[in-house]
Structure formats: C-alpha cells, structure tokens
Amino acid sequence: MEIRNIAIIAHVDHGKTTLVDQLLRQSGAFRENQVVAERAMDRNDLERERGITILAKCTSVVWKNTRINIIDTPGHADFGGEVERILNMVDGAIVLVDAAEGALPQTKFVLTKALARGIKPIVVVNKVDRQDARPDEVHNEVFDLFAALGASDEQLDFPMLFASGRQGWADVELDGPKKDLAPLYDLVLSHVNPPALNKDAPFAMVASILEADPFLGRVLTGRIEQGRAKLNMPVRVLRADGTVVETGRLTKLLSFRGLDRVVIEEAEAGDIIAVAGLSDATIPETIASPEVTAALPAIPVDPPTLAMTFRLNDGPLGGREGKKVTSRQIRDRLFKEVEGNVAIRVSESPESEAFEVAGRGELQLGVLIEQMRREGFELTIGRPRVLTRQNEETGEREEPFEEVLVDVDEAFSGVVVEKMSIRKGQMQDMRPSGGGKVRLTFLIPSRGLIGYHGEFLTDTRGTGIMNRLFAGYQPWAGTIEGRSKGSLISSEDGAAVQYALWYLQERGQLFVDPGEKVYVGMILGEHSRGSDLEINPIKEKKLTNIRAAGKDDAMLLTPPRRMSLEQAIAYIEDDELVEVTPSAIRIRKRYLDPNERKRMERKGDSAA
C-alpha cells in the first residue's frame, strides 16, 4: 500500500481539527452508527475546554488503496516546538485559511517553517459558508504571503480548494457541487509525493513526539527515515553528536488506524509509527539499528523567550488543598515535562526550593501550571519576565519582540494605538479590513504584552482580536510602566467577614467573598490609588443592645473580581506571587510579614 504523510497547519480556530473529523468520517474510519465526540482529535481535557489544540496528534485514513497519515498540529506559536518536529515527518501540508479572517500570524509562523523544509503546500480556504467570507481576496492574500516568505516558483504554483469543514465538503470552484471531501483526498494523492526513502538501508528514525503510557512506558512517535522496523529488533539511541544514549529492543510497534493505535509486526521507510521499550530515549534523538553510527539531522527549535519561577507553596494555607506539595515532587514533575516538550527549559533557581521554567509564552506556561494544578500540585508562581541576550558584535542588550496583528472596530482603534505606544509598540501598518473594522500591525517588545490582553478586551468591548508572532531579538526598548494601582493587603488571618468587606469595598475592587480564608500578606483586592494599603477583612460588628431594623440587610457587596490563572499571572508585580492549588488561585505578596516587606523595599531602594 502506498503512503502519503501530510500535516494540517493553520492559525488558531481556522478549523483544522474539525476538518480532520470529517476526513476520518468520510474515509470510513468511523462506523456509521459510531458515537464520536466533536473535535475527536482534541482528547486532552484542557484542549476541549479551551477549544485549542495543544499537542500534535497523528491519525490515518485509507483512500483509493493509499494510506494517508495526517498530523493535526497546534496553531498557537506558544506550542511551536510541537509544530517544528512534526514538519520533519511529512512530505506535504494542507494550509487551512479562514475565508473571512485570511492569513493570520500563526499561519505565517508555521508556513515559514514548512516552506523552508521545501514542502509544497495545498491551500484550502475554509469556512466559505460564513456570512462575511471573502474567499477571492483571501486567495490573493495567501499568494502575497507565500511570495513574502520567499516561496520557490514551484511552491507559489500551489493548488487551491474552497471548503467548509463543518459541512464536510471541498471543491475546486466556489459554485461547485459541494458534495464531499473527495476532491481534497484526490488532490493529496496527486500533489503530495510518496516518501522517497531507502527501504533497504539499516533502520533509523528520529523521535518527534514523546508520551507516557501507563502500560507501555515511554512511547516515541516518528517517521522511519530508512530501512525497516521489526518487532523485538535490537536498537540503540543516538544523540546529535553520535553519543549512544542507550541500547534496547522495540518491544512494541504501533501504527495509526483512524483514532486508534494498533500493534503491527513490521513497518518500512516512510511510515509513521510509535515504538515502546526504551527507557531513556527522548526528542529529537535517533533510534536506529546497532550498525548505524551517525544520528539523523533534526530541526533546531527556537529558544524560549519567557521565564517564570515555580516555588514551593510556603503560605499559611500551604499543604491543605493539594496532594503534591514538596519541592522534590515539583522538581520531578518539571523535569518529566522537559523530556517530552522541547520548547520548555527547566533549571534550578538561586532561591531555595524554586525552579526557573522558560518557555515560548504565557499560554504555554499557563497550560503547564493548569495541568500540574489538576494533578494535585500546590505552587507559587512569580511574575513572567522576558529572557534577554547580549549581542556578540555590538555588546548591546537585546530582548524578544513580537509582531502583533489587531482587528478592531474603527471606533476603538485610537485607544489600541495609544495603549500599544505606551508599551513601546511601533505601528507598522494600518488598513481597513471591511465591515467597519481596521487591521493594525505592530512591532512590540514581548514584555509589553504581558498582562495586556485583558485590558485590550475591555478597551474594545470584547470585540477586538489580537494575534501575535515571535519576530526575533532587537535592542532593549527601555522601561515600560507597570500596573498603575496598588494592592489591598490583608493584615489578619481568618475568614473574611461581610461587615468588614462592605466598608472596605469603597477602597477599591475586591477579589474575595465573605467566608473565604485569608492570611497576613494575601492580596484581597486592587486599591483605587497607586499605593498599597493594609486592611482588616475579619473585623466583626460590635454588638450593642440597640436594634436597628433592616440596617444589616442593606450591606450589599459588589461581586468580587475573579481572575483566571493566566489573568492572575499577568496581573502581579515583581514583589507578588500567584498561589495555585487544586481548589484555589490566590494572589499574595512575596514577603508576607509587613516588617520584612518594608525592609526588603528599603533594601531594593538603596540598591537602586
């Protein structure tokens, strides 16, 4: 049976996973009466809740006696480590573009990688059934993007289809019969070359995806680059420099059939398989026959740009809500994450019982924290900070910059431009995008975007769309002002009381409800002024003999402001931490004792 290996790449929410659902359904991978969840490829709880793909996944369909291995890739640049490895496994790509939104930054991010690999993409303009669809304009935009990214003449001559993934059809013409996805299957067979690899050479493959299986142990997925893999064959694992990591046997060979992985006896060059039986092999090492001495080339991964400090939860409520609360458990979990996630780096922090975790962005690190929280961990997280570097030629300090694409109603464009300029953003382009909307392009330091997304949604009444893409390192842009308002800090331990909160809410916006546990140094709200203020949230009403009918009933509290994990991490300042447990997200001062806090402030002022 012939093989085709393709990746589906696109911006977030342009319909990749929905299209894969339909490809599986129409190829007969599901029974007619089989109940399958929508977006079947997004199996992870966080993926379902957030509506995004976080982990790359492999599936396969059979069409006209050809097996098509399909890899569904993440669209967020934060998970770019997944995308880069995947492109090493495929010979073709379906570039999916929304018929209304057009080519957005993450499309550009993944496409840059694909074109550099020499892949000849198939372009599918999806969601043409949208009311605001503009398929012909989007086609031209995609061509311009290919040209701007330095595509070859062969790559510029890309085939294109119009489609609706939700309705399950694709066609060469907009006014075609719109029956099914057969035109897309046929185009994959005719346009994507079968893998041209040596089946008779000694076996070798690069590990591209790593996962832990409770029964099989470490499972590594990749494409066989040469030779044949056989069950129980002896292998060794090589690093890029040729060092042997370990020797072992392939105790399990698994191939992808629809949504399932099935056990096979043998696979040959070009096929995408998963192997088990190795205890130390990781990404992107080479798994090969014992006679192979040189590692296969692997795609270098862009370095992390953002770091956070993960600490032990040493607050007064620490250890009460989680099952995994020691620094050793946190350390083991973080280093386990590094084994399967090449875009994350973990190192020991100079602080005791703390670890520096660096990644691609707030979303990626936020997902890791949320996963750990659900696994029963308790942590305190420091403010995100960008990773700078020294320019070797000029000796200048450089920081990561991002290209930001903003779609807003014309009425809100002024406030967006103003806020971006305060955060050192430089406007590169401004053009109307139809329907009373404007598309703005900015170049801005990554640190200028920390904590801005929530403010952006408020400024644009929830109608603005902001997309970002790592644009490289540039000279340090100078000081960016932080939060303008101070904090309301608890001066007592106990449970918050309605009477006290009613009097305190005029001081600022509260984050807690009556009855919630509070402690000294915990941040209970945002002060209406620029300074911090210590407050007593557990002060009870003094009892008297005089009854005032209905007076207590009038104590109505404004609902507190509740922050998600990402919002809390983006909100804090350098002297604050986010306390994360399985049942709560709290914000606190780094130094809980007020005297120690003042001493540290004086120390910081004198150092400055």
The three-state secondary structure class of 519 is coil
Class of residue 392 by CB neighbours under 10 A (exposed 0-12, middle 13-18, buried 19+): exposed
Kindly tell me if the per-residue pLDDT of 18 is higher than 80.
no
Q: What are phi and psi of 182, to 5 degrees?
A: -55, -40
| Domains annotated on the chain, with CATH | 2-191 (3.40.50.300), 204-288 (2.40.30.10), 389-475 (3.30.70.240), 487-607 (2.40.50.250)
Q: What are phi and psi of 266, to 5 degrees?
A: -155, 150
The pLDDT score that the predictor gives to residue 16 is: 63
Q: Mean pLDDT lowest for which of 39-48, 154-163, 317-326? A: 39-48
Give exposure, 141-170, as e/b (b: 16+ Cβ within 10 Å).
Answer: ebbebbeeeebeeebeebebbbbbbeebbb
Query: DSSP secondary structure string, 87-151?
Result: HTT-SEEEEEEETTTBS-HHHHHHHHHHHHTT-EEEEEEE-TTSTT--HHHHHHHHHHHHHHTT-
- To the question of whether residue 394 is assigned a binding role by annotation, the answer is no
**Element spanning 295, H or E:** none
User: Which one, of 348, 473, 584, 174, lies nearest residue 357 by Cα?
Assistant: 348
- To the question of whether residue 128 is assigned a binding role by annotation, the answer is yes
- To the question of whether residue 15 is assigned a binding role by annotation, the answer is yes
Q: Are 486 and 529 in contact (CB under 8 A)?
A: yes
Whole-number percent of the chain with pLDDT over 90: 23
The pLDDT score that the predictor gives to residue 554 is: 64
Kindly tell me if the per-residue pLDDT of 602 is higher than 50.
yes
Kindly tell me if the per-residue pLDDT of 442 is higher than 70.
yes
Task: List Cβ neighbours of 212 (8 Å cut-off, separation of 6 or more).
Answer: 218, 219, 336, 340
State pLDDT tens for residues 288-297.
999 998 988 8
The pLDDT score that the predictor gives to residue 129 is: 84
Matching residue, tokens 């004792």 = 593
Q: Side-chain half-sphere of 327: how many Cα atoms within 13 Å?
A: 13
pLDDT band with cut points at 50, 70 and 90 for residue 106:
low
The pLDDT score that the predictor gives to residue 330 is: 93
Rounded CA separation 179/22 (Å)? 13
What is the average per-residue pLDDT within 140-169?
86
**Which of the pair, 67 or 283, is modelled with greater confidence?**
67
Q: Side-chain half-sphere of 1: how many Cα atoms within 13 Å?
A: 13
Rounded CA separation 554/498 (Å)? 11
- To the question of whether residue 380 is assigned a binding role by annotation, the answer is no
The pLDDT score that the predictor gives to residue 19 is: 78
Query: DSSP secondary structure string, 480-492?
Result: ----SS-EEEE-S
Read off the amino acid at residue 403. Answer: E
Kindly tell me if the per-residue pLDDT of 104 is higher than 60.
yes
Q: Are 471 and 426 in contact (CB under 8 A)?
A: no
State pLDDT tens for residues 369-424.
988 999 999 999 998 888 898 888 888 999 989 888 888 888 898 999 999 999 99
State pLDDT tens for residues 74-87.
644 444 555 667 77
Q: Are 496 and 510 in contact (CB under 8 A)?
A: no
- To the question of whether residue 132 is assigned a binding role by annotation, the answer is no
Whole-number percent of the chain with pLDDT over 70: 86
Q: Any idea what DSSP says for residue 13? A: T
Q: Are 182 and 190 in contact (CB under 8 A)?
A: no
Kindly tell me if the per-residue pLDDT of 37 is higher than 80.
no
State pLDDT tens for residues 554-571.
678 889 988 888 888 888
**Element spanning 367, H or E:** helix 362-374
Q: Are 159 and 122 in contact (CB under 8 A)?
A: yes
- To the question of whether residue 129 is assigned a binding role by annotation, the answer is yes
The pLDDT score that the predictor gives to residue 300 is: 58
Q: Which two tokens stand for residue 475?
A: 């000279």
Q: Are 53 and 41 in contact (CB under 8 A)?
A: yes
User: Which one, of 608, 575, 376, 345, lies nearest residue 483 by Cα?
Assistant: 575
Predicted TM-score (pTM) of the model is 0.70
pLDDT band with cut points at 50, 70 and 90 for residue 47:
very low
Q: Are 393 and 458 in contact (CB under 8 A)?
A: no
Kindly tell me if the per-residue pLDDT of 207 is higher than 60.
yes
- To the question of whether residue 59 is assigned a binding role by annotation, the answer is no
Task: List Cβ neighbours of 53 (8 Å cut-off, separation of 6 or more).
Answer: 16, 17, 41, 42, 47, 72, 73, 74, 75, 79
Rounded CA separation 305/302 (Å)? 9
Rounded CA separation 49/374 (Å)? 13
Q: Are 416 and 464 in contact (CB under 8 A)?
A: yes
